[in-house]
Structure 1
Amino acid sequence: MSHNCAYVRQHYQVPAEIGRRVIAYGKPGVILADRGHYIGVVLDEDPKKRIRNYHPTHEMKYGEMAETLPLKEWLVLPFKHDWDDLDWSREAREDLVRIWAAIRSQARYKAYERLQDYCHGIRAMLHFKVRRA
């Protein structure tokens, strides 16, 4: 996953990448998202396992790569497409939404939140197809 957090690694000279353990403001967690100038971290103590933005150098200590991740990566195929319809070309891959979530239904809802400007309502989420990445 060396392509993840490439900007942060280059600009801030830190070993940030998805799956790396960190101590953010004295609390342990795992990096799970590349957020441009920030890194998305899930703290171990957070019962809802929310990804929160942290500055890569401000009170941040980097550790080893995590053995397991607190969330799973999901692929979401929106808008009445089907997995068998994809030819997996570059255009088809751009239709997929990658989401980090604990369970399938949470992945579906997070994809809806990201795509709600393109949906006519929350019922569109019912047509999303979800599977593990």
Structure 2
Amino acid sequence: MHVIADEANFTIAMEPEKRLLRISIRGYWDETIVNAYDDKIREAGALMVSAGCPRNRILTLVDARGANVQSQELLEEYRKRFNQADRQPERSATVVSSVLFKLQVERVALPNQRIFQDLDGALEWLLTDAADMDTVLS
């Protein structure tokens, strides 16, 4: 695993052999943090592509168990930036620890995103489906 960013409010690491970006988000965010996160996500996508992973085949595992409930304005900004066809991973699994944060994630969720309460189940869903997809596409 190669760590791309390790900031106070987020960590991004890549495992190109699995087509996987591991993301951990923490705390309460503001626009400055969203901007920094956006820059690092773009960098991570470019690094995954340069490592041989097609952009449309990237999987993301987002561990949001350390994140706080966010403002509605921030959620709207996040949705505008990341819920665009050219920015979406093949599939995304988000792990949450609270029902309230789960509801917020559902409001900004990508069409190919599932929400989990345990990390192992999320990772299994991502990687099992990835293996099945590779078999179908071969």
TM-score range, shorter chain: under 0.3
The structure with the greater share of residues assigned to strand is 1
TM-score normalized by structure 1? Answer: 0.26
Higher gyration radius (CA): 1
The structure with the greater share of residues assigned to helix is 2
